[in-house]
Amino acid sequence: MIALSDHHQKITTMIPPASEVPSHAFTEPSTSRTFSSSPRIASLDVIRGAGILGALFVSIWVFGGFTTNAQNGLLLKSKGFDYRLFGTMDLLLTGKMKGLVAIAFGAGMILFLSKESQGSQAKADLFIRRQMWLLLFGLINALIFLWSGDMLFHFGIMGILLFPFIRLSQKQLLMAAAFTLLIFCGKNYWNYSDDKKIYRKFLAVTEVEKRIKKDSSHNAKKDSILNLQKKDSLSKQAGADTLTKNATKDTLTKDQQEEKSAWENLVAEKKFDPKKDDKDKKAMQKVSYAKLWDHLLPNTQYREASWTYTIGVWDFATMILLGMFLLKFGFFNNRLSRSQYLLLAVLGIGFGLLLGWFRLHNSQLSLQNYAMYVATHRISHTFFFPLEIALTSIGYASLLIFIVATGAVNRLWRGLACVGNLALTIYLMQTIFCSIFFTGFGMGYFGRLSQTQLYLIAAEICLFQVVFSVLWLRWFQYGPAEWLLRSLVYKTWLPNRRQARLASDSAVSAE
C-alpha cells in the first residue's frame, strides 16, 4: 500500500496544477462534483472547429477520387481554372487544418490534466484511459467506416507519447517543438537523398550498358570480318565461340538490374498517367463492403503503421507541442494585443504561403523531369513543408483570435465554437457521410465528380454540421461521441441532457 501511494504521488506531481494554466474569459464551473469538466476556452473551440471543417476540403480529395495522379496532371498542365483552384486550396489548406486541430489537441491535453477535481481517480490514469479509447475510436473510423486517412489513431498514440512533456516550461516546450520540426524537415531531406542515391546508381548502370553495347558491336563486327576471310570450318567454329563467349558477358548483373529497375519504378510512380486511376475507381465502386475493405486495407495499414513511426510521429508531435506551448504562454487567452495578433497572423500566413509557393513550383519542376530535378537541386520540394505548416497554422490561429476579439460576425464564430465543442462527433460524422456518398456500397460517386463539385459537397456537409452542432448543444452538454468517450473514461453513464438553466446559456461558454 505504501508503494502504491508513493507511485500515485509521483504521477500526481507530473500533472500541472491549475495555477500553471492561464486564466481565460470563457469558463464555467463544473456541473458535477465527481466528474469535473475541462475549462473551455472560446478561441480554442473556434480554432478546433475551423480545423475540423477545413480538413474536410482536403480529405474530400481522397474520399471523392481526386487522386495524387490527377493532381499531378493539373500541376503538369499549369493552366486553367482547375489548376488554379487546386493550387489555391493546396496552399491554403493542405497540412494546415490538421495543424490547427493538433494545436488544439496539445492545449486540450494540459487543460484535461489541470482539472481541479477528478473524484477518487488519478488524473494521469483518466488521461491514459482516454487516449486508449481514442485509439479504438480511430481504428473503428479507419477499419469500419473505411477512412484510411484517419487521424484519431495518431492523436491517441501521440497523447501517450507526449504525456511526460506536460510538465515542461514554456521555453522547453518551444525548444521541443523546434527540435521535432527539424527532424521532420530532416526526414524529408533523407528521403530525397535516397532518391539521389538511387539515381546515381542508375547512371552508373546506364554507363555499364553503353560499354556493353559498344563492346558487343565491336566484337560482332570483328567476328564477321574473320568469317569472311577464313572459310574453313575451324575458323567458323572459332568465330562462333567468340560470339558465344561475349554473349555471356554482355548482360547486366542481378544487382545492376535491380538498381536500374528501382529508379525506373520511382519515376513511374511520379509520372502522370490518365489511365492510372481506372483500377482504383473500379475497385471503389464495388457494392461489396468486404471487397472494399480488402481494397483499402493496405493503405490503412501503411497509414497506421509505417507512416506513423517514420513520418507521422514528427508531424503530429511538432504541432501538439506547439499547442502546449501556446496554452502555457497564454496565446488562447488574449495575452497579446489585437495588433500583435494581427501582425502575427500576417507574418505567419505570409511566410507560410511563400514556402507553399516554393513547394508547388518545385513540385511542378520535379514532375516535368525528375531526373533533371534530382541532378540539379540539393533539396526536395517538400523540405520546408513542416515549417510551412507550422507558420501558416499559427497565422490562422492568430487571425481567428483577432477576428473573435473584434466581435465581427459573432454568430459565425459561435457556430464554429459549437463545432469545436463537438469535434469528435463531427469528425466521425464526416467519415460516415463521405463513405456512404462515395463508395460503391453507398451511392457510388467515387471518381465521378469534378474538383469543384467535391468542394460543393464538402461545403454542404460543413453547413449541415454547423447547424447540427448549434441545435444539439441547446439540449445536450456533449456530442454523442464525446458523451460516449467520457462515459467510457469514467466507467459510468454520465448525464448529458442540459438543465433548464443551461439551455438558455451560450453554447460557446457552457459545457
Within 8 A by CB and 6+ apart from 288, the residues are 440, 441
Question: Do 235 and 171 belong together in one domain?
Answer: no
For 143-181, what is each residue's pLDDT tens digit?
999 999 999 999 999 999 999 999 999 999 999 999 999
Max intra-chain CA distance, the chain: 114
| 508, part of any domain | no
pLDDT attached to residue 349: 97
DSSP string for 24-44: -SS----S-SSSPPPPP-HHH
For 94-149, what is each residue's pLDDT tens digit?
999 999 999 999 999 999 988 754 454 688 889 999 999 999 999 999 999 999 99
For 277-288, what is each residue's pLDDT tens digit?
888 999 998 888
| 366, part of any domain | yes
Q: What angle do CA 506, 510, 511 make, to 5 degrees?
A: 145
Question: Do 225 and 87 belong together in one domain?
Answer: no
Q: Quick one: cell of 10? A: 509521483
Cα 98 from Cα 393, distance rounded (Å) = 9
For 291-303, what is each residue's pLDDT tens digit?
999 999 999 999 9
Cα 124 from Cα 127, distance rounded (Å) = 5
Counting Cα atoms < 13 Å in the Cβ hemisphere of 264 gives 8
| 495, part of any domain | yes
| 212, part of any domain | yes
| 1, part of any domain | no
For 234-273, what is each residue's pLDDT tens digit?
444 544 444 444 444 567 787 788 888 889 888 888 888 8
Last residue of a domain, one of 255, 278, 301: 278
Question: Do 379 and 497 belong together in one domain?
Answer: yes
| 100, part of any domain | yes
Q: Quick one: cell of 106? A: 496539445
Q: Quick one: cell of 293? A: 475493405
Last residue of a domain, one of 231, 258, 278: 278
Question: Do 329 and 395 belong together in one domain?
Answer: yes
Q: Nearest CA to 371 among 184, 187, 206, 186? A: 206
Chain mean pLDDT for the chain: 84
Question: Do 267 and 205 belong together in one domain?
Answer: yes
Question: Do 331 and 398 belong together in one domain?
Answer: yes
Q: Quick one: cell of 379? A: 533539396
Last residue of a domain, one of 278, 296, 319: 278
Read off φ and ψ for residue 370, nearest 5 degrees. Answer: -70, -35
For 188-221, what is each residue's pLDDT tens digit?
999 999 999 999 988 888 888 778 776 555 555 5
For 428-473, what is each residue's pLDDT tens digit?
999 999 999 999 989 999 999 999 999 999 999 999 999 999 999 9
pLDDT attached to residue 257: 84
Q: Please report which residue ranges of 231-329 form alpha helices under DSSP H.
A: 233-249, 254-270, 278-284, 289-301, 307, 313-329
Question: Do 330 and 268 belong together in one domain?
Answer: no
| 90, part of any domain | yes
Question: Do 49 and 191 belong together in one domain?
Answer: yes
Residue that is written with C-alpha cell 475493405 in the block: 293
For 9-68, what is each residue's pLDDT tens digit?
444 444 454 444 554 433 333 333 334 444 578 899 999 999 999 999 999 999 999 999
Question: Do 252 and 386 belong together in one domain?
Answer: no
- The answer to whether 284 touches 440, Cβ cutoff 8 Å, is yes
Question: Do 220 and 320 belong together in one domain?
Answer: no
- The answer to whether 384 touches 185, Cβ cutoff 8 Å, is yes
| 7, part of any domain | no
Q: Write out the H or E segment, with its range, that includes residue 408.
A: none
Within 8 A by CB and 6+ apart from 264, the residues are 202
Domain coverage including residue 170: 22-199+279-503
pLDDT attached to residue 165: 94
Question: Do 243 and 384 belong together in one domain?
Answer: no
State the total domains in the chain. 2
pLDDT attached to residue 412: 85
Question: Do 195 and 92 belong together in one domain?
Answer: yes
Q: Is the pLDDT of residue 379 over 50?
A: yes
Q: Rounded to two decimals, what is the model's pTM?
A: 0.84
